[in-house]
Amino acid sequence: GAASAQDLPKLEKKDRYKVGFSQMESNNPWRIAETKSFMDTAESCNWDLIATDAAGSAAKQVADVDSMIAQGIDILFLPPREEKPLIPAVMKAKAAGIPTFLVDRSVDPAVAQAGRDYVAFLGSDFIDQGRRVAEWTLENFKGDKGVIVELEGTTGSSPANDRRKGFDDVMAQHDNMTIVASQSGDFARDLGRQVMETLLQAHPDVNIVYAHNDEMAIGAIQALTLAGRNPGEDVMVVSIDGTRDALQAIIDGKMGVTVESSPFFGPVACNVMERYIAGEDIEPWVQVQDRIFTAENAADHIDEAY
Ligand code: GYE
């Protein structure tokens, strides 16, 4: 049936709120910055925060949400590691009458929908991020033919699906650009390095690397350097997030661009919760605006980076 806000559980005004934040993993600076943002927001937003870490396992993340429901949380903030495996967590929270906000990643919209199964998605436009990386690459690539290796994020995650779509759709319109390989590095630095090592052997002529996040871009730079290549000179490395290491790599001339994907969701979550308590209709997608970091401005932003 049609999505209707009446189906969503209400949240009464209270002095303190028991808030669940189910983190998916803590193996990169982005995740750590996001968890810290929730912790830093807790006091000023009257949260008694229950934060868990699923250590990279969707099954554990579902179990973590189960345990938060059993502990009687008032509200759930959930970054679903993958689009399909986390649907049961969303549905269980719904059945328990707990308003749920998806944070930074989404779930399969064919099954679970904002305004019906959960309140809203708080996050970036990943298709647009991929598109903006592609456009920057087209404007700044100096060679005749682009030979592109793509390092994808976690398979089945919304940012991996959408960052791929945004970038690939733009590149498909340019005959001089070919994506010769596209493989998952699970959004992780070390896996990004390993996958890049392997792909370099099959495609030694690569001259553009598009990584779906900065951690994999840094891993790729390590692999390229070890293989005697000069990232920033004979290979253009481009990615997404805006971590400190990526801004430093841009300053050092090893990386071309990173389109921002902000991890600072604590204040966004507090604001949307207050609006929800006040009875406001919440838009299904609370969109985060992202900047772009290049050699022109990386030095201005590195001090505030994570
Ligand atoms: O880019 C990445 C993290 O879901 C937007 O996940 C997030 C992505 C972010 O592991 O670094």
Helix axes 266-277, 29-42, angle to 10 degrees: 40
Helix (H) or strand (E) holding 275: helix 266-277
Does the global pTM surpass 0.95?
Answer: yes
> What tokens appear for 222 in the block?
């390590």
* Ligand 1 centroid to residue 93 C-alpha, Å: 23
* Ligand 1 centroid to residue 7 C-alpha, Å: 30
Q: DSSP secondary-structure letter at 260?
A: E
**Least confident among 7-16, 199-208, 234-243:** 7-16
234-263 average pLDDT score:
98
Alpha-helix runs per DSSP H in 143-261: 158-171, 189-202, 214-226, 244-251
Pocket probe mutation, ligand 1, options 122, 133, 158, 213, max atoms within 8 Å of Cβ: 213
Q: In sequence order, what DSSP letters do the residues of 126-152 get, joined into one string?
A: HHHHHHHHHHHHHHH--SSSEEEEEEE
Residue 216: what pLDDT? 98
* Ligand 1 centroid to residue 213 C-alpha, Å: 7
* Confidence at 3, pLDDT banded by 50, 70, 90: very low
* Ligand 1 centroid to residue 112 C-alpha, Å: 21
Residue 279 reports pLDDT greater than 50: yes
Residue 244 reports pLDDT greater than 70: yes
Residue 5: what pLDDT? 55
Residue 2: what pLDDT? 41
Ligand 1 site, CB within 6 A? 28, 30-31, 104-105, 159, 187, 213, 215, 240-241, 261
* Confidence at 7, pLDDT banded by 50, 70, 90: confident
280-286 average pLDDT score:
96
Q: In sequence order, what DSSP letters do the residues of 5-36 get, joined into one string?
A: GGGSPP----SSEEEEEEE---SSHHHHHHHH
> What type of residue sits at position 72?
G
The residues near 123 (Cβ < 8 Å, ≥ 6 apart) are 102, 103, 104, 105, 106, 285, 286, 287, 288
pLDDT tens for residues 75-108?
999 999 999 999 999 999 999 999 999 999 999 9
pLDDT tens for residues 109-159?
999 999 999 999 999 999 999 999 999 999 999 999 999 999 999 999 999
Which three-class secondary structure state does DSSP give residue 182? strand
Average pLDDT, the chain: 97
pLDDT tens for residues 173-220?
999 999 999 999 999 999 999 999 999 999 999 999 999 999 999 999
Interface ipTM: 0.98
> What type of residue sits at position 21?
F
